[in-house]
Amino acid sequence: MKKLLLTSILLTSALCAYTEDSSTILESKQVTQGAIWRYGLDRAGVNNTKGVPVKNGEKWRTKIGGQVLSSPVFFDGIIYTGSDKGFFALDAESGKEVWSLGIKEGRDKEYQGVVSSACIADGFVYFTAGDGQLYSVDMKTGKVKWSVSPKKSQNKIVAFSPAVAYGLVFSKGGNREISGFDVETGKEVWHGRDRSPATAGVTVTKDFLIGFSPAGVGCRVVNINSAIQLPKNFMPSLAYSCSTPAVVNNSVYGTCAALIGTAPRYPVVALASLESNVYVTKSIEPHKEKKEMKAVFSSTTVWGGSVFIGCDSGHLYVYDDKQLDPLWNFKTGGPVRSSASISSQDGIVYFSSYDGKLYALNAKTGEQQWDHTISSPTKVPSYINSCPWVEDGSVYIGTIDGEIVAIH
């Protein structure tokens, strides 16, 4: 099933891009077909598809090796995913390998292969890798069109999900900037004036690029046309965030990881309007009665008036999307670092836990539909976790055991 990648971006005028030597006018190029981690440039985590309200069982299980920290992305009958062994394209019906690409060893021993989740646009798949390179690869053949290491990145751009818009590949990495690369040549032609590091993906709206930072500086919003950052006090409580922001109806949703820095605190969920600067924040206090703090690493999912957040307490927490009042929560047997995915046609939310299970719940009530064991329980949580992709009656997810599992 083909998808429109830029449903929320309909810019037809030229785009001004900041470069080192001058301001350059780039003709906007609308992506006509593609797919991206979290289902859209808004990163809301919602796919307009039927899911798996009743589980039949495993469709297939394919071992690709290493650990799969990348999240699978589905497009045109193919599953695209990374592992610490490289990047893989698998047939979505059979699980058989279509092609694979090995990645040379990088400087960072913690991140090898491909941790980044893919962005697919007009016949090419884009991802960042542990060797410090951003890749453009033919989605049918696996042939590398170009790879590039961003200027001043020191080969540290390893885990960030890129986004394609206006003929540019936007990515934020170790160079502490959001950079834009020409889709045809790989030339770095756009720099956002943002010097804060990031640990997750870049969210794109009509006017802005948005990313969170783990370094205590919170949310960064950069104007696409001017490359100038909005005031630094935007969403100030989201210091030490390890999530990718979701943007719905011009409101930005995100979480603070907590347990980081000199003054540890409970994690928070927050929303802020890009238009009115209305700002709402609420503490996530799973074990307040025990005075225990549990971190949040998952990204927010926003659908049906609700915000869904996984927590290391083992819970999936759900809040209303206006005032962030708690609605319901669901307890699993391990930390939940998997960002949730929703199939909007049947209102099912899917997420995994470090208890080794994939869960399917009614997204309105929290009633469990089913669970499925995808791997053995993980005693030591990893920093980044694969989240499920739901598509046309199947759910695809990567495991810490180096497998991709399809459930229908």
Give the Cβ contact number of residue 93 at 10 Å. 13
Whether 26 maps to a domain, the answer reads: no
Q: How confident is the model at residue 57 (pLDDT cuts 50, 70, 90)?
A: very high
Domain that holds residue 332: 35-407
Whether 165 maps to a domain, the answer reads: yes
Whether 18 maps to a domain, the answer reads: no
pLDDT at site 196: 54
pLDDT at site 145: 97
**Count of domains in the chain?**
1
Minimum mean pLDDT range among 7-16, 354-363, 387-396: 7-16
Handedness of CA 331, 334, 340, 346 (dihedral sign): negative
Whether 4 maps to a domain, the answer reads: no
Q: In CATH, what number is assigned to the domain containing residue 95? A: 2.130.10.10
Q: What percent of the chain has pLDDT over 90?
A: 49
Distance of alpha carbon 380 from alpha carbon 5, whole angstroms: 35
Give 260-311 pLDDT, tens digit per residue.
555 556 788 999 998 887 889 888 865 555 556 678 889 999 999 999 999 9
Whether 5 maps to a domain, the answer reads: no
Q: Average pLDDT, stretch 90-106? A: 91
Please report where in the chains the tokens 């924040």 appear, as a residue. 281
Whether 10 maps to a domain, the answer reads: no
Whether 3 maps to a domain, the answer reads: no
Whether 24 maps to a domain, the answer reads: no
Using CA atoms, how far residue 392 sits from 2, 76, 92, 345, in Å, is 11, 12, 11, 10
